[in-house]
Chain A
Amino acid sequence: MAASSSFLSTASLSNPKSTISFASSVSPAPIPSLRRVVFRSPSSRRRVMTIRSKIREIFMPALSSTMTEGKIVSWIKTEGEKLAKGESVVVVESDKADMDVETFYDGYLAAIVVGEGETAPVGAAIGLLAETEAEIEEAKNKAASKPSSSAVVPSPPPATSSPAPAIAQPSPAAAASDGPRKTVATPHAKKLAKQHKVDIGSVAGTGPFGRITASDVEAAAGLAPTVTPPPPPPPPAAAPAPTAKATTTSSPPLLPDASIVPFTAMQSAVSKNMIESLSVPTFRVGYPVNTDALDALYEKVKPKGVTMTALLAKAAGMALAQHPVVNASCKDGKSFSYNSNINVAVAVAINGGLITPVLQDANKLDLYLLSQKWKELVGKARSKQLQPHEYNSGTFTLSNLGMFGVDRFDAILPPGQGAIMAVGASKPTVVADKDGFFSVKNKMLVNVTADHRIVYGADLAAFLQTFAKIVENPDSLTL
């Protein structure tokens, strides 16, 4: 908000005269141009008519997408020196490099607010620029009156190869010491705390000897712990997140003996997918299916190596062939993406993980091939040898907890798919037929979760009806 209006875009360069810049500052480029000093008027921002902008603030530019603060390496110009447009004024050290920062105004460097070797957050005023010599004094007063406010932060430990031995190592741990218990935080924990703006002193340490570990900080910041995060932490978290996250920093401390086990790669993938799934509007439709015929068929084909998973996947595949919308997905929120293949992913639990090997063309392959394929996939999944296309090409997912006696459950729709089917146990159930005769039939409850942007209630009902028909007359499965 304020950013786009107060930052001056490069486009307005051609209008060097003060006031115009603020009128044009609503122009496209939202990010201040790199390598340029960014200016803003110290006085009211939007009122075009305030011609008080002759003294401008020079503020810390964002030199990279991950930069949150910068250190002044050196001021190339001294106070009172005349500046010409395009001249380098100051050298700023970011997390990536040292860069000369140029001015795009003529004028005088009136006051240096943040001195050499000091650090300021991106956007903080680091100096004042006066348009005329006469205004230098005024600018100086201005600088003196605002005692560098938020700008001057003494160089924090990991940021730089600091020249001054005095500030060599006021490690946060030391500073906070002399309490009942000294705070000990690991190097990574300290870095994360800084990155996510978590006050390390408020974090409860659960690591060895009560030290604060990276996962403690992540928990405090409300983040899912990451497995072996790659050296350069991905930028997105840095900029927008902190404000939102800051409120959640004081999450309830862990119980004393709780242990923290970081996610494996597979677990973090699951976690990520599950969070992503929240952005899709889903709904559920359940359906009871009579499985007497299916059970009979299963008994017959079992010796030939056919599994129940293959039977269900085949049935689902055949039903999907008749209801392509359930096999579709919604990629952009604007259109249906109809998949040409019917690839049934089947959720499998493997020691502490969850993966969905995919039976491709489940509607076309015969039962025996499907069963064979399935065995192969499960073997690969156990030995972690699945190729990406073998677990991420699904167009529909099947999840079966029937073997545990679960009678019904509710599945979360995986991102990128239109529907997922949750299959419960097949149980002998007393049913009354239309003539009022009671009988006992094996019934299983099937519950499908679907993306309501593309699949509507009637679609799902029709699909389930077809599925039930196939299962109840399973001869077609063996064709």
Chain B
Amino acid sequence: MQSAFSLSFSQSSLTLPNRPLCSPNAAPRNLRFCGLRREAFGFSPPKQLNSCRFQVKNRRIEVSAAAGGNGAPSNKSFDYDLVIIGAGVGGHGAALHAVEKGLKTAIIEGDVVGGTCVNRGCVPSKALLAVSGRMRELQNEHHMKSFGLQVSAAGYDRQGVADHASNLATKIRNNLTNSMKALGVDILTGFGSVLGPQKVKYGKDNVITAKDIIIATGSVPFVPKGIEVDGKTVITSDHALKLESVPDWIAIVGSGYIGLEFSDVYTALGSEVTFIEALDQLMPGFDPEISKLAQRVLINPRKIDYHTGVFASKITPAKDGRPVMIELIDAKTKEHKDTLEVDAALIATGRAPFTNGLGLENINVATQRGFIPVDERMRVIDGNGKLVPNLYCIGDANGKLMLAHAASAQGISVVEQVTGRDHVLNHLSIPAACFTHPEISMVGLTEPQAREKAEKEGFKVSIAKTSFKANTKALAENEGEGLAKMIYRPDNGEILGVHIFGLHAADLIHEASNAIALGTRIQDIKLAVHAHPTLSEVVDELFKAAKVESPASTTPQSVKAAV
């Protein structure tokens, strides 16, 4: 179980073979990965290509209509054009795009707007990581000395740190709510469920109809059997983000994104950490080379040890003067291996879809391990393998790629489809990031995945690597530790995957993810200019280091420039 969940990212990306990177009617211009943009209309590209002009004009008209109150349903027989169940980042992204497209939209939320990401996930954890990054820097005398800085002992106030996280969540939640209100999205309060085709119930007994329905109910922390969560000494990320205590010694079960980020937070705040990983290696799902380097930087020199290839079969919270007890069994033989005694345990074994009580039985949909089965267009598949008309599922609930911005992108993709433009999201162009210090980011395939694919399809794979050690900006920051790695096809210059470990890696990945999304080839992008000195030159170097056999294409852009 544990391994299945921590691997879900790599598995899902493996199961999506070779989708066309750019099809003419899937202009990725409309793909916005950030579900947190504050207003829908702030974005207007300064210059549109001729072919797009008509569409843009059209959109503006719709916009003004929509801004006048979320319009009226285009089909009078429905209350709404689109109803979204779940106001997390996925639902929010879909709602904003739907209004932009002129759909009368409602969003149903049974808990708080913002979902996991904003309230119990990415957002508050970034606040904690912002603190841990600074603490780490201030505590590192050697690092400070190399700047010529002198800092007396750095300390922190736990409540102050916790408040920063909760304040940030509140602020982002308000931004999200306001952005939807401002556009006239109806926010309906209460748990939503599907009553039948195109019919949704929310709260006690409010029934509404909609032409299309998107399920975006997200996920909750997954707790394996045998683990007793008491919320104090045995906790999930939901509790950990409140930072009600900083234990001296905490075991983290699972060494994926969540576990890694929390190890960064806890060790910076003075805890010692023991990782428990079911697979034979820490950080499964990352490119092996990156995880090896990451382990050298993020694990080995810190107060962290680990047990790999083991399950935590039983975890008992601290009570009656006893510490938290963790029974470890071998992941393969299931034999008892060890018993750990620690002050606290954080369960970061992945996330389970939150799909109970959705009324799926009403439309004959059976979940798979809780996930709602969907096709590549996020259309829900019923128990007979048939598509359920007008019903879509995005985000963690479908389990394709459990990332906030993936949910949002899927939502936008669905809205594109229901407004008459076929669209298939290329999941291999969705970047992922882990916000440790330094950060880890990636897009596309890992090297082993790429090699496997290359073998199957008979093409050659090359690797380009650059180091942060050679980057002026990184050295100025005394942060030369880091590696960027690109996996590509030398024959046509296609980027298959990019993995970055180093300062601000999470921000650097987008050049690569955009190139993959837009189908830009290395021989073209390598001619683009990067400001000096910036960290982006690490990626620039990567493109320039690649040896591609095909010549640069003559793009309309460059022709224009030549004239």
Contacts and interface: CB of A to CB of B under 8 A. Distances in A.
A265 interface: yes
B192 to A, nearest CB: 44
Contact of A163 (B139, B280, B306, B343): B280
A168 B272 contact: no
A159 B308 CA distance: 13
Contacts of A264: 153
B356 interface: no
Nearest to B267: A231
B310 interface: yes
Given A188-B303, A230-B140, 7 more contacts: A161-B282, A186-B249, A186-B303, A187-B303, A188-B272, A207-B248, A209-B322
Interface of A: 95-98, 157-159, 161-163, 165, 168-169, 171, 173-174, 182, 184, 186-188, 190-191, 207-209, 211, 214, 227-228, 230-234, 264-266, 384, 388
19 contacts: A158-B299, A158-B300, A161-B281, A161-B292, A165-B280, A165-B309, A171-B305, A173-B338, A174-B338, A182-B339, A186-B272, A188-B303, A191-B303, A208-B343, A211-B249, A228-B270, A230-B140, A231-B136, A266-B153
Nearest to A185: B305
A234 B306 contact: no
Interface in B278-326: 280-282, 291-292, 295-296, 299-310, 322-323
Contacts of A388: 150
B70 interface: no
B101 to A, nearest CB: 48
B254 to A, nearest CB: 16
Interface string B118-157: 0000000000000000001001111100000010111000
Contacts of A165: 280, 308-309, 331-332
A232 B142 contact: yes
* Interface size class of chain B, counting residues whose CB lies under 8 Å from the partner chain: 35 or more
B292 A191 contact: no
B305 A265 contact: no
Nearest to B288: A161
Given A95-B296, A168-B280, A169-B338, A228 B153 contact: yes
B337 interface: yes
Given A165-B309, A188-B303, A191-B305, A96 B296 contact: yes
A168 B248 contact: no
From DSSP, what is the main secondary structure of chain B's interface residues?
Answer: mixed
B345 to A, nearest CB: 14
B274 A95 contact: no
Q: How would you classify the secondary structure of chain A's contact residues: helix, strand, loop or mixed?
A: loop
Contact of A187 (B154, B272, B281, B341): B272
Contacts of B165: none
Contact of B307 (A97, A163, A169, A190): A169
A228 B307 contact: no
Nearest to A210: B341
Nearest to B321: A209
Nearest to B339: A182
B338 A230 contact: no
B306 A265 contact: no
A388 B152 CA distance: 10
B273 interface: yes
A187 B304 contact: yes
A190 B282 contact: no
A187 B153 contact: no
Contact of A384 (B152, B291, B292): B152
Contact of B323 (A161, A208, A227): A208
A363 to B, nearest CB: 28
A169 B141 CA distance: 33
Contact of A230 (B139, B305, B323): B139
A159 B338 CA distance: 20
A378 to B, nearest CB: 17
A244 B27 CA distance: 69
